Amino acid sequence: MSQTTQRLSQFVQAYREVVILLVLGVACAGFYFAQPGDINRFLTIDNWRVIAVNISTDALMVVGMTLVIIAGGFDLSIGSTVALGGIIACKLMVGGVPILLAVVAGLLAGALVGAVNGFIITKVGVNPLITTLGTMIIVRGLCLVAVQANPVTGLPPSFAKLGETMHLTASFDLPYSVLLMVMTVMAADVLLRHARFLRQVYYVGGNEEAARFSGINVDRVRSFTYILTGVLAALAGIVNASRLISASANAGERAELRVISAVVIGGASLAGGTGTILGAFLGLLLVGVIENGMEILRVNIYMKNVVMGTILILAVTIDRIDWPMLKRIGRWFKK
């Protein structure tokens, strides 16, 4: 018996992605059969397109955050960087700067936030949680100062097009943001599995000393993860701005919580050294599907937080379940 549970927890650890897919399948079946009325509204192409669009910008941040967390770090500042990227790109556009240039400037602003995070964490040696908590507040403040709480509007129509969809066939169209998400997640997943430079994040997060002795520039790898996350967060902000045809100082609110939850559900450990991008993406998809399903089931809005928090806790405990633990729980209940 103890072997079975051990094997089970090993399986969960080794095939995290498969386990999430199974949970996803169960959740989908549940929502499909539980939905009110006679009409199927959950398993439709339209609804899944909405789910995909809804998670598309969070997915960009999930890619960066996975690398940060694998390397043993943490980044709370992404939500604020979403607002910064959107505001800088949009302000420049409205001021007449060519769209491409404005977008690049927005991304550079995100890179700058990441570089500051990386510098303070690796060179000054401040804890990542504290550092990025600080930059989160500073960057949000800068956004508010820059726009004085007025949303940036009047964006060029060709920029707004990016937030729309690409018609593939008469009945099927693919939103650009979803295309961007799929390409980014796939590329990053393959690179993290095979590219030498990216694989270093596992060594840095797994055993920093060993990584240092084997000649890895630990600080550089760490800083890189923060800069990449900053760029991706800014990109998320720019994509959102094109979808909403405006950029505001409170964009990306709570994004850090959603993204970190997804990465952890996807199997990454905050201790560093483990996690995959595919897993984190599936974690995000699971969160997105459950949020959507709860809307369709008309679940009380205040109940949603309880559900989402419970899923997070379940996700991090599932691979710790073994026979001794079950016995402990059993004994506790007998008392």
Partner 1 sequence: MSKALNLLLGLATLVLAILYFSSRKQPEATATSGAAPSKAAADEEYVLIAVSVGNAYWIDARDGFNDAARNLGVQATFTGPQGSDVKQQVDLIETAITRGVKGLIVVPAEPEAVIPSINRAIAAGIPVITQDTDSPKSRRYTFIGTGNFEAGRLGGELLAKEIGGQGEVALLMIPGQWNLEERRRGYEAALGKHPEIKIVAVGNDQAEESQAAAQAKSILQAHPNLAGFGCVDASGGAGAAVAVRDAGKKGKIKIIAMDRNEATLDFVQQGFIQASLAQRSYTMSYLGLRMLHDLNHGRIKMVADWRAAKTCPLPALVDTGAVVITPENVQAFRHVK
**Contact residue for partner 1 among 126, 216, 244, 321 (CB under 8 A):** 244
- Please, what is the minimum distance in Å from the beta carbon of residue 126 to partner 1? 25
**Contact residue for partner 1 among 10, 150, 214, 217 (CB under 8 A):** 150
Asked if 176 contacts 184 with a C-beta cutoff of 8 angstroms, the reply is no
- Token duo for residue 13: 């650890």
Q: CA 51, 307, 6, 262 torsion: positive or negative? A: positive
**Contact residue for partner 1 among 1, 38, 209, 334 (CB under 8 A):** 38
- Please, what is the minimum distance in Å from the beta carbon of residue 143 to partner 1? 8
Q: Which is nearer to partner 1, 73 or 163 (CB)?
A: 163
Q: Which residues pair with 167 in a beta bridge?
A: 173
- Please, what is the minimum distance in Å from the beta carbon of residue 27 to partner 1? 12
Rounded to the nearest 10 degrees, the angle between the axes of helix 277-296 and helix 16-34 is 10
- Please, what is the minimum distance in Å from the beta carbon of residue 204 to partner 1? 21
Quick check: 12 binds partner 1 (CB under 8 A)? Answer: no
Residues 282-311 touching partner 1, rule: CB under 8 A, are 292, 295-296, 298, 301-302, 305
Stretch that binds partner 1, among 11-19, 67-75, 113-121, 224-232 (CB under 8 A): 11-19
Q: Which is nearer to partner 1, 149 or 166 (CB)?
A: 149
In 233-306, which ranges are E strands? Answer: none
Residue by residue, DSSP assigns 122-167 as: III---HHHHHHHHHHHHHHHHHHHHTTPPB----HHHHHTTSEEE
Our CA dihedral for 238, 240, 241, 247, rounded to 10 degrees, sits at: -100
- Token duo for residue 160: 């707004």
Binding mask 46-85 for partner 1 (x = CB under 8 A): xxxxx--xx--x----------------------------
Quick check: 137 binds partner 1 (CB under 8 A)? Answer: no
**Contact residue for partner 1 among 44, 127, 310, 317 (CB under 8 A):** 44
- Please, what is the minimum distance in Å from the beta carbon of residue 223 to partner 1? 28
- Please, what is the minimum distance in Å from the beta carbon of residue 158 to partner 1? 15
**Contact residue for partner 1 among 252, 267, 272, 273 (CB under 8 A):** 252
Query: What amino acid is encoded at 287 in this protein?
Result: V
Quick check: 316 binds partner 1 (CB under 8 A)? Answer: no
Total interface residues for partner 1 by CB under 8 A: 51
Closest CA to 257 of 312, 215, 209, 207: 312
* Collapsed DSSP state (helix, strand, coil) of residue 251: coil
The torsion region of residue 273 among left (phi > 0), alpha (psi -120 to 50) and beta comes to: left
Q: Which is nearer to partner 1, 192 or 231 (CB)?
A: 192
Quick check: 209 binds partner 1 (CB under 8 A)? Answer: no
Quick check: 240 binds partner 1 (CB under 8 A)? Answer: yes
Phi, psi values for residue 299, rounded to 5°: -65, 140
**Contact residue for partner 1 among 8, 9, 12, 41 (CB under 8 A):** 41
Q: Which residues contact 172 (CB under 8 A, 6 or more apart)?
A: 45
Output 117-125 pairs: Cβ under 8 A, ≥24 positions apart: 117/75, 117/77, 117/226, 117/230, 118/219, 118/222, 118/223, 118/224, 118/225, 118/226, 118/227, 119/223, 121/73, 121/222, 121/223, 121/226, 122/218, 122/219, 122/222, 122/223, 123/219
Residues 256-275 touching partner 1, rule: CB under 8 A, are none
Residue numbers at the binding site for partner 1 (CB under 8 A): 15, 17-18, 21, 25, 28, 36-50, 53-54, 57, 144, 149-151, 153, 163, 193, 240, 243-246, 248-254, 278, 292, 295-296, 298, 301-302, 305
